[in-house]
């Protein structure tokens, strides 16, 4: 598989996009050039999966969206219940049984300065589209990743739990991964501790215990991460938030990343070091299997 293959994107002109209370054809759905979401990355978003016509963890995604909006002083102009209905209706209109939902709230149109008070009404956008998945065989083989030099924003600058529209550090880290011939990169925080991958949380398994960096170390409070913890609890696997260094990654028994798009992806090589025996480990495999039965 080449990077080009993975990055191919299909744009379906028949998709219907929800924008500020209306469903429009995707080619006619647009935001103002004065929207602070565009001008300053001022907004929040969610990525959600649809499996067999079922929206996976919709409540959890909507809760995170509203918490994030509250944290950045955006008052979403509809209730969480109405948001849920709007997401369901947009999915229905797009007649997709498997796909991806992108839910976006921007600060809205305002004047050219940063002042958010010039933006009178946040915009709500719901896109239902296809998802570009990792090829199936990678879940059997695992992937190689590298450490990126682009760091996560410090938690005291912007809380990493806020899934904001500003992903520039992560975009740069993703570009570094591609330059190294990898599909993903691991990002460190300002102190050099492991934070997460560019769009996924990272876990290691050491002596049978699952460990992932805590949010204040630069990790998003991932919904897939929380799902993995639930599976672990039910399977009597110990898990904990744990500050991790690159040494911990290199010497882990197993490693995997979690995210809405990737689900649970084994990581078998980091910065040219083989993880464990270089194959997806037993704990990772059992989690992948358990996750698939939920999704």
| Residues near ligand PMP, by CB under 6 A | 47, 170, 196, 199-201, 220, 222-225, 258-261
DSSP state of 112: S
The residue annotated as part of the active site, out of 109, 163, 174, 279, is: 163
CB of 222 vs ligand PMP, minimal distance in Å = 3
Q: Considering the complex, what minimum distance in angstroms separates the CB of residue 43 from ligand PMP?
A: 14
Give the three-state DSSP class for 125: strand
Q: Which of 272, 281, 50 is nearest to 182 (CA)?
A: 272
Nearer to ligand PMP, 109 or 152 (CB): 152
Shortest Å distance, C-beta 264 to ligand PMP: 10
Q: Evaluate whether 212 touches 242 at the Cβ level (below 8 Å).
A: yes
- Pick the closest to residue 119 from 223, 232, 61, 43 (CA basis): 43
For ligand PMP, the closer of residues 108 and 259 by Cβ is: 259
Tell me how far apart the alpha carbons of residues 31 and 192 are, in angstroms, rounded to a whole number.
38
CB of 24 to ligand PMP, least distance (A): 26
Q: Are 269 and 145 in contact (CB under 8 A)?
A: yes
Smaller CB distance to ligand PMP: residue 46 or 254? 46
For ligand PMP, give the closer residue by CB, 250 or 291. 291
Inter-residue long-range contacts of 96-99, CB under 8 Å, 24+ positions, other chains counted: 96/50, 96/128, 96/130, 97/50, 97/52, 97/53, 98/50, 98/51, 98/52, 98/131, 99/49, 99/50, 99/128, 99/129, 99/130, 99/131
274 part of the active site: no
Which residues are annotated as catalytic? 163
């Amino acid at each position: 598989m080449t990077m080009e293959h993975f990055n191919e994107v299909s744009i379906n002109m028949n998709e219907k996009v929800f924008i500020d209370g209306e469903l429009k054809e995707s080619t006619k759905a647009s935001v103002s050039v004065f929207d602070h979401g565009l001008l300053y990355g001022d907004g929040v978003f969610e990525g959600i999966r649809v499996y067999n016509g079922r929206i996976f963890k919709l409540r959890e995604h909507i809760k995170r969206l509203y918490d994030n909006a509250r944290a950045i002083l955006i008052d979403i102009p509809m209730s969480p219940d109405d948001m849920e209905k709007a997401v369901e209706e947009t999915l229905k209109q797009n007649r997709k049984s498997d796909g991806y939902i992108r839910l976006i709230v921007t600060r809205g149109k305002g004047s050219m300065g940063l002042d958010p008070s010039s933006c009178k009404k946040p915009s709500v956008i719901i896109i239902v589209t296809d998802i570009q998945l990792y090829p199936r065989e990678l879940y059997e083989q695992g992937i190689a990743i590298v450490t990126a030099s682009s760091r996560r924003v410090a938690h005291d600058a912007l809380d990493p739990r806020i899934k904001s529209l500003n992903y520039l550090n992560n975009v740069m880290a993703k570009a570094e991964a591609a330059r190294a011939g990898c599909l993903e990169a691991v990002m460190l925080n300002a102190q050099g501790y492991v934070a997460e991958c560019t769009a996924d949380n990272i876990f290691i398994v050491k002596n049978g215990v699952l460990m992932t960096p805590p949010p204040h170390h630069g990790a998003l409070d991932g919904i897939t991460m929380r799902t993995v913890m639930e599976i672990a609890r039910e399977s009597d696997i110990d898990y904990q938030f744990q500050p991790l260094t690159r040494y911990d990654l290199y010497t882990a028994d197993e490693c995997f990343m979690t995210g809405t798009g990737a689900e649970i992806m084994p990581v078998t090589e980091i910065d040219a070091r083989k993880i464990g025996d270089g194959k997806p480990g037993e704990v990772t495999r059992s989690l992948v299997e358990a996750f698939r039965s939920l999704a």
